[in-house]
Structure 1
């Protein structure tokens, strides 16, 4: 009987519709995003001078797990973390999550006025919503000036531009039929052109794009899909593909006060992710570690500190990485050790433009003081464009209906959400 049920579930999964056309998919993305945004806000408040990074990460993961446990109760679907809580110091580029068992790194604390990057995410049924924001420690609602303001403004406007460049040409065109047809006939921006336009933005603030900043196509249980956009690609790196309607993307923006060139730091790699590679692990400790990884995290990133026995995990993961069944994320920093700012958003491309699932909060631009500004006309024109059509203002049918079925009601609500996107 159990074997039959397993086969039935496998068949159901194989033929299930996990696209955005399915209202359930949209609901799961939205739910995961709401959790990610809520936890991001809480973690931001914990980032104060002297706070230990490892303790912030642990508290963030605990809150993510608590919030995920509150939704879709009783449903036989996977849910958990799409990305563990990470807090990256000033010149660090990649997500950073130290271990308690590494005494020196566990003692790392936040410094006043340093720019740190907070990244985390929740997932419901394999639909992950990851978000990253950059903040200045100790500057809550206060004025920020000088080079820090330059960096944050460059990152904000570059991110705004990138989101608009991801909208397929002519999708939001207005005017006469002829004008719409002309807009839709335009070729999409190439990845090289996208980098060129973004460089105009960051150089307006005497900053540079971080080398190999990558946006990925998302899918169910997959945050590094077949398509990717690589900004300022380094030697041997190249992107592949451009956004299309019906896709979900993880959009990254990285900006540096230095040259933007990168280097691998000496810190232990603590962030990992299971791959689809199969390999016969020889050590019992390695097999035990992989079994725990599969059960707890699926194919989403995780920190070694999330394993039941952190020290045993440090040993067991070695063969897993060597055999290619687990990917190890090296700790990457700015080559010049200059401050770096990063943003990460999870968005969907729909027929109405971009639907923003999880996005970093918009900074208070009035508090960022600098004498620098963007002057390029092409860039300014694109920044004026909307990222989505205005939300529908059609009057709803006010006639009372006889208790509609809950499923139908939920589907209708989700469908309505799909038809409208958040507009800045």
Structure 2
């Protein structure tokens, strides 16, 4: 009898990385479309519904023979002080509307054959029929701090010496440097936050991504609350979902007095007693697998309120996980970014990323002055492959961290960035 060949689901397999990239393309495309919908006066539930429809439409266009594809994360639109993704039900009596000037977090994701790409961006809501204006004051501080903290975080995820050049001895010396501990990562990020008089959101967690799993065996916890800690360091051949969260207040978090609507299937097995609960769980397993889903999606699909009892039973027996809504303890604005990327021998390969912040539109009288941080921000995320000599090179993140008046005084610099 012929032995069955084990399927390679690692990121090193070219087919798998392609699936990640296809999912990333969909996630980024839908994110761009959804952010355009986020204008003052729009209902959050309506935006989420449109975003989910776009994900379904885009996923249907690719890998037509692949049954396992769809959502890596439903569309969520979180108001200013919210920390966790927010996805209301269409039947909720209180339909929240976006307010002008608030910092809104948009998070969503697609998956192909279990390889998921999740992205999150923070945008400032514009009034209807209004062109984008320059952002100033504390909102600008928050956005700039979050952007540079995220840029720093991505570079701290790089295994030491990965992009080192020079002789074999110099490369070996660079690779021998110990990776930063999780407490060191928190310390460095906190310096960026404090530069803009902001604070890290407690227990912001980045996870190792695997096939059908967005909360893998490793995690990095920034500013851990009491009783929480990370485990493991990033390595070549891994895919991570890296999150950065900052607040204009203390960064402490509290549970919100709202129904939990975001859930996901766990690895636990239990035969639910009621027929309705078993039917609900089967529907969840078929459409979402082990990826997060919104109760709104079940509501719209079945139109039967009985699904709520089925979800509740699933949570009670541990076969479903419930994500409790949380927000800033003082109700202050919070900004979040989430990037999916792979660590390869050539550095960081982004597999789903929010668009780079146009720092020229955010004016702050604050800046990063710590030399250690500025040096890290200058480092590229990947090797320069020299594909195009005419392609304009990106400036290092360090230079962008300076106020505009200082930029104008500096001479023009080039950088081999990602």
**TM-score under structure 1 length normalisation:** 0.88
Match of 1:195 in 2: 186
| Partner residue of 2:111 out of 112, 120, 123 | 123
Match of 1:341 in 2: 335
Q: 1:325 to 1:372 in 2, by over 3 A?
A: same
- Which structure 1 residue ranges, 5 or more long, are not aligned? 1-7, 396-421
* Post-superposition offset of 1:386: 0.5
Q: Is 2:45 aligned against 1:54?
A: yes
Runs of 4+ in 1 over 3 A off after TM superposition: 392-395
* Post-superposition offset of 1:219: 0.4
| Partner residue of 2:69 out of 58, 79, 82 | 79
Q: For the residues of structure 2 that align with 1:57 and 1:82, how far apart are their CA atoms?
A: 14
Q: 1:394 to 1:200 in 2, by over 3 A?
A: closer
Q: For the residues of structure 2 that align with 1:392 and 1:313, how far apart are their CA atoms?
A: 54
Q: For the residues of structure 2 that align with 1:114 and 1:394, how far apart are their CA atoms?
A: 40
Q: Is 2:352 aligned against 1:358?
A: yes
Match of 1:27 in 2: 18
* Post-superposition offset of 1:170: 0.4
Match of 1:288 in 2: 279
* Post-superposition offset of 1:394: 9.7
The answer to whether the Cα contact below 8 Å between 2:201 and 2:246 also exists between their aligned partners in 1 is yes
Q: For the residues of structure 2 that align with 1:274 and 1:216, how far apart are their CA atoms?
A: 17
SS in 1 for 2:257: coil
* Post-superposition offset of 1:25: 0.4
Match of 1:399 in 2: none
Match of 1:403 in 2: none
Match of 1:404 in 2: none
Q: For the residues of structure 2 that align with 1:394 and 1:94, how far apart are their CA atoms?
A: 41
Q: 1:77 to 1:285 in 2, by over 3 A?
A: closer
The answer to whether the Cα contact below 8 Å between 2:141 and 2:197 also exists between their aligned partners in 1 is yes
Q: For the residues of structure 1 that align with 2:210 and 2:77, how far apart are their CA atoms?
A: 25
* Post-superposition offset of 1:312: 2.1
Q: Is 2:138 aligned against 1:138?
A: no
Q: Is 2:214 aligned against 1:223?
A: yes
* Post-superposition offset of 1:77: 3.8
| Partner residue of 2:242 out of 251, 270, 283 | 251
Q: For the residues of structure 2 that align with 1:48 and 1:224, how far apart are their CA atoms?
A: 32
Match of 1:4 in 2: none
* Post-superposition offset of 1:280: 2.2
The correspondence of residues 241-320 of structure 1 with structure 2, limited to 5 A, is 241-307=232-298, 308-309=301-302, 311-320=305-314
SS in 2 for 1:164: helix
* Post-superposition offset of 1:423: 4.0
Match of 2:363 in 1: 369
How many residue pairs are counted as aligned between the two chains?
Answer: 385
Which segment is superposed worse, 140-149 or 336-345?
140-149
